[in-house]
Amino acid sequence: MNKNNGNTLLCTLTIAGLAVIFGIYEGDVTMSNFNEVILMGNFTRDPQLSYTTNQTPVVEFGLAVNRKWTKTDGSQGEEVGFFECQCYGKRAEVIVKHFTKGSPIFVQGRLKQERWDKDGTSHSRIRIMIESFEFIGRKETDNEPK
């Protein structure tokens, strides 16, 4: 714990490797905002490159993330989460060049909620905004030696 001054006490709590910082102000507990996503999965389709009006590259792709666990009865459980991702700039061009449907990738980014109205109905979705990524393996192609 770090004491900042007489009225503020800042604490750092580490949960599963993530640091969460909160302060206690005159008896009130406030949490700082934190928006970070780390996922490892496979592309559900080939990445699609487009450009903004000022010619900034933007790529969109789907990511499938599997989760497996052992249930209390000993049987195996499995679920798959599907996430829409978007990335801008040079990273977008690198993704299009090196990844295809089925490729594995490790991504770090943030959640972004998009809202819009269509025909009088409000819609929303949450998208992963990719800020960095790592190559974690390569899918072999017919042209590569095994």
Q: In tens digits, what is the pLDDT along the chain, a chain of 146 residues?
A: 444 444 444 444 545 445 555 554 555 566 778 999 999 999 999 999 999 999 999 999 999 999 999 999 999 999 999 999 999 999 999 999 999 999 999 999 999 999 999 999 999 999 999 999 999 976 555 555 44
The answer on 41 and 21 residing in a single domain is no
The answer on 116 and 79 residing in a single domain is yes
| Residues spanned by the domain of 13 | 2-31
Mark out the alpha helices in the chain (DSSP H runs).
90-98
* pLDDT recorded at residue 137: 77
Residues 6+ apart with CB under 8 A from 74: none
pTM: 0.71
State the total domains in the chain: 2
The answer on 41 and 6 residing in a single domain is no
pLDDT in tens, 35-70: 999 999 999 999 999 999 999 999 999 999 999 999
Distance of CA 119 to the CA centre of its chain: 30
The answer on 69 and 127 residing in a single domain is yes
Cα–Cα–Cα angle for 71, 74, 78, rounded to 5 degrees: 45
C-alpha–C-alpha distance, residues 142 and 137, integer Å = 16
Residue 143 lies in a domain: no
The answer on 76 and 10 residing in a single domain is no
